[in-house]
Every structure is written in C-alpha cells, then in structure tokens.
Chain A
Amino acid sequence: MSEVRLKVRNMTKHFGVNRALNNVSFDINKGEVHALIGENGSGKSTMTNMLTGIYPMESGTFTLDGEDLHPKNQVDANNHGVSIIVQELGTLSGLTVAENIFLGHEDRFITYGFRNTVAMNAEANRLLEEYGFTHIKAADLVDNYNFEDRKLIEIVKATYFNPKIVVIDETTTALSQEGREELYKHMNRIRAQGNTVIFISHDLPEILDKSDTITILRDGEYITTVKSKDVSEDDLKKLMVGREVTGDYYRSDYGEKVSDEVVLSVKDVSVPGIIHNVTFDLHKGEILGFGGLSESGMHEIGKAIFGASYDREGSVTLADGTQINDIPTAIKHSIAYTSKDRDNESIVINQSIRDNIALPSLNKLSNNFGILSWPAIKKFAIDFAKEMSVKMVNTDQFVSELSGGNKQKVVLARWIGKGSDIVVLDSPTRGIDIKVKQDIYQLMNRMRKEGKSIIMISEELMELIGMCDRIIIMKDGAIKGDLPRSKDLNENSLISMMV
C-alpha cells in the first residue's frame, strides 16, 4: 500500500442554497494518477477548485503530507505544492510567455523593486527547452500562440516547480491527439517522480487508460474509490448515474434511409475569416451533424443558417425558395436555433420562464389587433414547460435560477412551442448531466421521426456518431469530410480528419 499524500475529510461546500459537496472524505496517494469522475454538478471541480485556492473552503479539511492545507488563493496553493491546469484558457492575454509562467512568483526575479526581465526570460526559455517545447519563445506574447501551445505553456506553468499535486481539470477535451499525448507524457513524468496527478475528464476510456485510481462523486456525495484495472466503462457509468444506463442512450437504428426531400440548401456560404464556401443540403427527417475543433468554423454555420451571422455571403434557401438572411425571417419560416452560448444567446437570462417560452410565439398568442392574451400565454408556457419536464417552481420563476440542463429544456420548449421544422442545435448537451442528455437525445429522435430536420453542431464526437444520419467534419472554416451514419465510425477516424 502506497503512502497517502492528501487526506480529504468531511468536505462540504454550498453555493447559495445549492449544496455542491456534502461531507466528502477520501484519500489520494503519492505517485498515482487519481481520476475524479461524476456527472456535471457532481462536485469534482468544486473540490479541486477549493484545493487549489480558487474557491474559499467552507467546512472540512485537506491534509497534505500530514499538514493542514487551507489555501487562501492560487499562489498560496502553489507555495504549498498544489497547482492546476484548467479547462478553458488559463493563460492571460497581453502578457508574455515568461510572465505567464511566473505569474504570482515574480519575486525571485525582483531586486530592489525592479524586475530582471532578461533573467526571467532566460529561465523560462530553459524550462521550455527542458519540456521539449522549443518552438515557444519566452519573450513572445502568449497571444501569438494558438490554443494548443497555450495549453503547453500552462503545463510548464503548473509543473515546473515540481508540485506535490497537479490538478488537470478537463483539459484534454480541448486538445488534439498530439496535445493529449504531450499531456499524458507529463502526467506519467509527474507520477514517476512520486508526485500526484488529480485527473478530471468526461472521457471514460481515457480515464480507464491513464489513471491508476478512480473516485466517483454523484450530486456532491462521495460514492466510492476503485482501481482502474478492476472496473469497466459500464461499471463507471452505473456508479456515476446511480442506476443502469439503458441501451437507448443514443439512437439504436442503422441503415434507415433518409428522405431525398431537401428542406434547406446552403450554398457557397462564407463569413469572412471564419468559414469559406460551405455548401450542403439538409433533408427532411435528417439529423445532420457538424464536428470539428472549436475554432473550425462549425459554430458559425449554425448562426449563418439562422441569419445571425454578420457579413455573411452566399445563400441559405428553403425548399419553397425563401431566402434566409435575418433572424426574424428564419423564425417566421420555422427555423429554430439554440446557441452554444446558452446564457447570452439562447435565453433571456433575467426573465421569467413564461416570457422566455412565449417570446417567439407572441404573434400566435395575440388576436388580430395584436392584443396579447395573458391567460393564453401562461397556459402556453406551462404546457410546453411540462412537455419538456422543466424542473421549476412555476413559470414566473426567472431562468437565471435554473440549472444548465433546465435552461436548455426551456430553450427547447420555446422552439417546440413555436413548432419549428428545422432545428439547429449548437452544442445542445454542453455542460448538461447524463439524465438530461438522454432526454435531449430522445427528443431529437422523436422529432426526426416526426419529419423534422435537425442540424447538430457538437464538440462531443460520441454524440455525433451516436445520433447523426450524416456527419460533416469542418477544418479551418471549410468542409473536410462528409460521413454517413455507420456502426464502423469511431472517434479516432473523426479526429484524424479534424486536426
């Protein structure tokens, strides 16, 4: 039995009235990659954010190598030997690579109040070389580097001082295969030095492959800790959800023929600097997927179809010849859109569930003179919120008080209420837990069978493979490949086209 590095005891944390962690206790050993898994909202990031001083602790204790750890902020955590690589961009724009690496630790280069930039850059360059990232130069602004390189810079920043614990929080989802390999290499190195990696990822095969030990959290509760070699992917899913995940998670049909009837054609659509000459047709009853890296331009395609792109060229035409050039026209002609940026673009966050659901359908809910019927609006909102089983007190409740999954349900309720025939879903399951995900997949399948057409833009390759009749892969703003639905598709074949 290896030595214990970190003891977590009775950790509890609330956000307002929501309890994110409840009395969680477990141990993390030296020299291991310890995975932390659970659905969204299970408390894994809350835990690591407290460990690394991003959130203040509430009650409970961390004991690091026998000493009480109570980090006041990230720098304090660093000084105690705990660091983190975060999910989104963790480097600061406008600073140089070296300034980013030594952020909060500039003291060692300061004499009499002056910072010795030359020494700092030299030290940063030495570290970059040691890590094998020779193409990155310490004196450059981080803005000169792409997302992947900036992640590499973060790796250096989080690990150069040989911390006892490095937290890697859902970093891999954003990385290409090469970037991931680089990260795995450093995870192994940290482990070999006898230090610990806390690894958070949604990718279960990756978890099983790369970690030694796995701790499962559910709804802020500690469930269990297992050895990776003793469990299967299905076991983990079961532990995460707390019940058997039925086979009908994604669609189960293969080889169904999609109608030849074209409902929407996109021709030579370009948005300067984002997408170039994209042409495709959407068929009746089809789920058409778009996959690619986040910057591949795929998210802009959804906006372009919805008439929401600024400066769009080319044409988006419906079967009856109607040109879609602005949002009101799109909505009038039965096109719906849910944005990746849910809180800003999909729903009016500081407004009631009722108004959010009714907003695009107000014409339908008023008489010939444009006079609204409030009882009809209320009934409309209640009906469709119920149909989507939105968890709420009543429809007067503000959307800002709902969880991510419920917000998305409100968004979908509004478009189902509007009766849209063409539905563009950008990252529909982003930040949503497995139960609601399953609801959304079932809804999509039902809509498909009703003859509605769906465009699903997603960064989650598994859901594209599982749900789509056809997947278009985007790279650098252009269409790179067009793959029909097949049992043989796997993530690797998609990734190789994306990068």
Chain B
Amino acid sequence: MSEVIDKEKEQLKLKRMRLIRSILPIVGLVLVFILFNILTDGKLMDRLPLVMSQVYVIMIASMGVFFIMTMGGLDFSQGSIIGLSAIVVCVLSEYSIPLAILGGIVTGAAIGAVNGYFYVNRKIKSFIVTICTMFLFRGLIKYLTTDAPVAGSMELIELDSTALKVACTALVVAIGFVFFVFTKFGTHLKAIGAGEKAAMFSGIRTDRLKFYVYVLSGAITGFAAFIMAVKNGSVTSSGGNQLETQILITLVLGGMPISGGAMARFGNFIVGSLLFVILNSGLNMIGFSTQLMQLIEGIVFLIFVAIFADRKAIHVIK
C-alpha cells in the first residue's frame, strides 16, 4: 500500500515541477514588467508601443527555431538568414513588394535547405552545420554591403506601420499555432525530439521532416526579414547580427526545454520574446550600457538553462 502512496507522491512532485516550468516564464514576465515600471517611474509603460516594435521580428523568427528545437535540433544561422533575406527584400522592393516578400522567403528557405542538407543527408550535428552557415552567409552579407548599406525602395519604407507589423506577426503565429497543436506536425516534431529512433519506428519519415523543418524555419525567418526591412529601411553589414543568440535566449526564457521533446509548448516562444524584449528595453531605460546588459542577460540565460535543462535528455541535442 505504501508503495502506491509513494508512487502518487512522486507523480505529484513531477506534476508540480511541470507546473513550475509552465508558470515561471509567465510569472517572470509579469514580475519583470512591474519591476521595470517601478524602476523607470512608469516610463516603460509610456513607451510600450516603441518597446513592442522590437518584438515582431524576434517573435516570428523564434517560431521557426522553436520548431527546430522541439525536434532536438539547434540553429545558429538565423542572424545571417535574416540579414541576407533582408538584402534580397530591399533589392527586390524596387520592382514589387509581393516579389520582395517572396524573395525574402525563398532566400531564407534556401539557406534552411543548405542547413537541412548537411544536417540530414551528411549527418553533421546541427549546431556545427548552422555555425558554419552563420559565418558563410555573414561573409556574403559583408561583401554585399561593402560600399554602402543596401536600402529599400520608398514604397517599402512607407509600409511601416504598427498595424501591418501586428497583423503579420499575428497571422504567422496563428498559422503556426494551428499546425503545431492541431495537426500531426507538432506531435511528430515532439516525438522526434523525445526519441528519434522510436519516432522513425512509429512511421514518421524523420529525415524528410527534419529537412523540411529547417527549410520552413528559414522561410519563416525570411518573412521576418521583410518586417525588419520595413522597419529599418536598409540593411548594413551587421544586419540581423546576433539574432541567433537572441532567439536562443528568448526560447529559454520562455521555458523551452533545451533538448526539445514532449515538454515543448507553443507558448514558449511567445512569452519568451515578450520577456526578452521587456528585459532588454527595461535595462536600456535604466541606463545600463550595452556591455553591462549583455552581462546581465547572460546571467539570466544561465539561470533559466539551469532550471529548464532536462539533464536526462541533454545528450539528445543533435
């Protein structure tokens, strides 16, 4: 009898752990928001629209990486994907805006396909592949912007409005939500993250899916590049720099398990991107220098990884 009670206790403990994992990011978001409002005498609240304008790009791009991380992969090439895609968007915007959007998406998808090819077909760990492509395409961006930043057309710049950015972000997130939660896509991704071989033996075409998820993630970031181009109007050699680390911090802050799998929740990247942006803006408003901000964010990142890393599954990172 005592054994049954022990089992139930263990089950309860596990449930509590899961609850903490799912609640902590939201509680963190509220606390950080209140804290910075107090520290800045309500300035954060006043400048909320400005703060939120930083959220769109990171939220869209982190959705793609969320899919990748759910299946246990990583992607460090996001910054270069968005930079190069944004250049394509800017160049094509001279001809037509729909063409520019499409160009950005195709560029992102193409880089994603390169990642996916080396990861899936050549069986190289994803973080190594994507670190390589990060350097490779960053080099290309620097080459293309050697003389001057690549500027978008007037038409592109005039598109900049909060309504458009909110609408685009909401649309992408909504589509992603339906696919992740209400089709087998999400369940299959989680299964791959939780046990790739068993997923394959359950009838999932794991290699094909892994490849397409990298392409998809590239395409999504390619779309985010359009939003970035609209917002900034031009791309410099450092365009999109460090987006990959920002995305990683975002996901971890949102409670995403580093090794992916069944515990991944769609809300992870939404809460995470809000938390990240508020943390960033808040620190900025208090008057921290960029260097000091990086230090603090690094510490927060470490603490969250320590909380959310599933040590039993950590070796699964592919």
Residues of A within 8 A of B (CB): 16-19, 306, 308, 326-328, 330-332, 337, 339, 344-352, 355, 358-360, 362-363, 366, 370-372, 393, 397-398, 401, 414
Report yes or no: A355 in contact with B10, Cβ–Cβ below 8 A: no
Chain A residues, Cβ within 8 Å of B262: 348, 350-352, 355, 398
Report yes or no: B194 in contact with A19, Cβ–Cβ below 8 A: no
Closest 6 CB pairs of A and B: A331-B203, A348-B195, A350-B194, A362-B184, A17-B6, A351-B262
B interface, over-half SS: helix
Most buried by A among B8, B191, B199: B191
Chain A residues, Cβ within 8 Å of B312: 350
Chain B residues, Cβ within 8 Å of A371: 178, 182-183
CA distance A306 to B201 in the complex (A): 9
Distance (Å) between the CB of B310 and the closest chain A CB? 8
Report yes or no: B261 in contact with A346, Cβ–Cβ below 8 A: no
Report yes or no: A355 in contact with B313, Cβ–Cβ below 8 A: no
Report yes or no: A348 in contact with B198, Cβ–Cβ below 8 A: yes
A-B contact pairs, 20 of them (CB 8 A): A326-B205, A327-B201, A327-B203, A328-B204, A331-B203, A344-B195, A344-B197, A346-B198, A347-B195, A348-B194, A350-B194, A350-B195, A350-B262, A351-B195, A352-B262, A355-B191, A360-B203, A371-B182, A393-B11, A401-B14
CA distance A228 to B191 in the complex (A): 50
Contact of B200 among A327, A352, A370 (CB under 8 A): A327
> Quick one: which of B260-318 are within 8 Å of A by CB?
261-262, 310, 312-313
Smallest CB gap from B13: residue in A: A17
Chain A residues, Cβ within 8 Å of B3: 17-19
Report yes or no: B198 in contact with A363, Cβ–Cβ below 8 A: no
Contact of B187 among A326, A346, A362 (CB under 8 A): A362
Smallest CB gap from A332: residue in B: B203
Report yes or no: B184 in contact with A370, Cβ–Cβ below 8 A: yes
Smallest CB gap from A328: residue in B: B203
Chain B residues, Cβ within 8 Å of A352: 262
Most buried by B among A349, A359, A398: A359
Chain B residues, Cβ within 8 Å of A306: 201
Contact of A16 among B10, B195, B199, B203 (CB under 8 A): B10
Contact of A350 among B184, B202, B313 (CB under 8 A): B313
Chain A residues, Cβ within 8 Å of B199: 348, 359
The answer to whether the Cβ of B138 comes within 8 Å of any Cβ in the partner chain is no
Q: A344-B195, A348-B262, A351-B262 are in contact. List 6 more A-B contacts (CB 8 A).
A: A308-B200, A344-B197, A351-B194, A359-B191, A366-B183, A371-B183
Contact of B201 among A337, A362, A366 (CB under 8 A): A337
CB-CB under 8 A for A345 and B183, given A351-B191, A355-B262, A393-B11: no
